[in-house]
Structures are given as structure tokens and as C-alpha cells.
Amino acid sequence: MTARKIGLVGLGKIARDQHLPALAANPDLELVAVAGHGASLDGVDGFASLSAMLAARPDLDAITLCTPPGVRHALAAEALAAGKPVMLEKPPGATLGEVELLARQAESAGLTLFASWHSRHAPGVAPAREWLAGREIHRVQIVWKEDVRVWHPGQEWIFEPAGMGVFDPGINALSIVTAILPRPFFLRDALLQVPANRQAPIAAQLRFMDTAGAPVEADLDFLQTGPQTWDIYVETDAGRLTLTKGGSELTIAGESVPVGPAGEYPALYARFAELLDSGASDVDPAPLRHVADACLLGRREAVASFHFP
């Protein structure tokens, strides 16, 4: 089968670090065009905007959007209006409302829309979900701490409205927990710590409860130095399940469980290729809904100003 032609919009750090290698490794997909401010890549057509790319490359089979979430809705709507299936980097949008509109637009047009959550494809996530399906959950603890200066160097937009602040990495944890727990959960309390010179939180403590009363707690920090922490602990009637290193390592009742090799973004593009073949969509807003609830319900505490080095 001929590889599907992909156009990618937004050639920033995440696109270069993750999307480009994953696309290059997928025989079913071929990156033929990139678009965005200063977007340029050897051997690939470059355009200043999505509009220019769509006009010059009507042969594109699908579009991947790697822009910041604040501008993603307009671009996705434009691509869908042009008849192109769309893959959205996480989070799928700045608001739940716009994600819902995109899902309706894609369904009406009969086009694939893929709201991707890369952390759900970490190798320990699927076996964790399978094991937890038959367990009674007593307590869940999320500890997700990383250094914004390392992962988003100089990216001021991440602390602007729609930038999400610490929820940019924190939503990865929420995407895993919403995938592995057998019961849904909802927010009861939140504390959002916002730098005096910023609009989005740099740390957050979230307290959820599942529908059977089990607590689900999250401690998020965007100023972690040294080793980064991406861990989830689930206390059950059969012992503790632990997902560490972002879901790449799994331990159950003190025993390490063999899992497959890491490859979140290759798995994302394999999933996108499957969706394109079937014409189906995959749009789960649950992780974004939890972030929205935190912003709606959470108490805000002003903390020291933050400046990039």
C-alpha cells in the first residue's frame, strides 16, 4: 500500500524530538510537508502557514498539529473543512467546548479526528489497565514533577492563558490514570500555585475521589531539579501497583513486570494509521476535563515570580 502523505504544522521541540522520528519509522505514513513560522526541513516542502500548505499540496492525506493548544482549534477546523483527517498533539485544545466542536465537525464530514495522548502508549500502561480491571482500588497517588526549564526552555507561551503551565506535563499523568482505573473519578479540591508574573500554575495539588469513594491524589510540580519524577501508585486489595518513569516501568506487589520497549510516539502514529484505514475517530476529552475542573474549582495561591534563564 502506498504510504499516506502527512503534513505537519508546528515544527517546535516536541515535533523535532518525537514526531519526526516516529513518522520516519512508520512505513504507512510519509511526511511530505511542514508549516509554521520558520518551518523548514530538508527534503520536505515548507510553508509559512497551514493555508499555504493546503493550497499547494492538495494531495495531502492527513494533517498533524503540533502547535501550542491556544491556536489549535482554528487550524484543525480549517484542515477538516479542507477534507483532511487530523491528529492533534495533547492537549487536543484549549477548552472542552472547542474539542467537542471539532469532534462534531469531523463526524459530520466523515473524517478521522485523533486526539492523541502519548503517555497512554507507554509500555506499562496496557498491562496495568488489564491487571487493575479485576481489583478493588483503595487509593491512588500521582507524583509528577519535572523541570520546565529543561522541557520547555524559553517557551513563554506555556505560562500564558491556554498554555496550561504545570498541567502541560500533568495532563500526561491524568491521561494514564483515566485509562487504567476501572472506575471514573472526579475532583473534590485543588490548590493551584501561580507565579506572581504568570497566568498559569507552576505547581498544583489535586484531590479526586472515584465513584466508590477511593481517593485519587496528584502532586504536580514544574520546578523539579535533578532526576525527574513521573510516578503513579495504586493501592489495591491485591497489593500495590506502581508505574514509574512515565509508565515505562511497572511493578505489581513488589515484583517487576516485564513490559515492551518504550515507543510512545511510534505507537501514536501506528494508531493514527489504523484510524485512517478504518475512517474512525478517537477523541477522549477526559484528561482535559479534569484540568478544566481544577481551574474551575481550584483555589489559587500566588507564589514567587518565575523567569526562564
Q: Residue 120 contacts by C-beta under 8 Å, 6 or more apart in sequence?
A: 175, 176, 179
Q: List beta partners, residue 191.
A: 205, 299
The beta strands (E) that lie in the chain are given as 4-9, 29-35, 45-47, 62-65, 86-88, 113-115, 137-145, 185-195, 203-210, 215-221, 229-236, 239-244, 249-252, 255-257, 299-303
Distance CA 249, CA 282 (A): 26
| CATH ID of 122-259+292-303, from 3.30.360.10, 2.30.42.10, 3.60.150.10, 3.30.530.50 | 3.30.360.10
Q: Is the pLDDT of residue 1 over 80?
A: no
User: Rounded to the nearest 5 degrees, what angle is found at the Cα of 106, between the Cα atoms of 110 and 63?
Assistant: 100
- pLDDT tens-digit readout, 253-296: 999 999 988 899 999 999 999 999 999 999 999 999 999 999 99
Arithmetic mean of pLDDT, 108-126 = 97
pLDDT digits (tens, 9 = 90+) for 228-238: 999 999 999 99
pLDDT of residue 134: 86
Q: What's phi and psi for 150, nearest 5 deg?
A: -90, -45
What is the model's pLDDT at position 39? 85
Contacts of 194 (CB under 8 A, 6+ apart): 165, 200, 201, 202, 300, 301, 302, 303
Catalytic one among 5, 13, 84, 90?
90
| 245 has catalytic annotation | no
Kindly state the average pLDDT of the residues 163-173. Answer: 97
Q: What pLDDT sits at residue 98?
A: 97
Q: Cα separation of 64 and 62, whole Å? A: 7
Of the pLDDT bands very low, low, confident and very high (cuts 50, 70, 90), residue 169 is: very high
Which pLDDT value is given to residue 38? 83
Least confident residue range of 37-51, 87-101, 132-146, 192-206? 37-51
For the cut 80, the answer to whether the pLDDT of residue 49 exceeds it is yes
Domains of the chain, by residue range, sit at: 4-115, 122-259+292-303
Residue written as cell 499523568?
173
What is the pTM (predicted TM-score) of this model? 0.95
Q: What is the mean pLDDT of residues 184-209?
A: 98
- pLDDT over 90 for what percent of the chain? 96
Name, in order, each residue with C-beta under 8 angstroms of 136's C-beta and a sequence gap of 6 or more. Answer: 236, 237
The CATH architecture annotation of domain 4-115 reads: 3-Layer(aba) Sandwich (3.40)
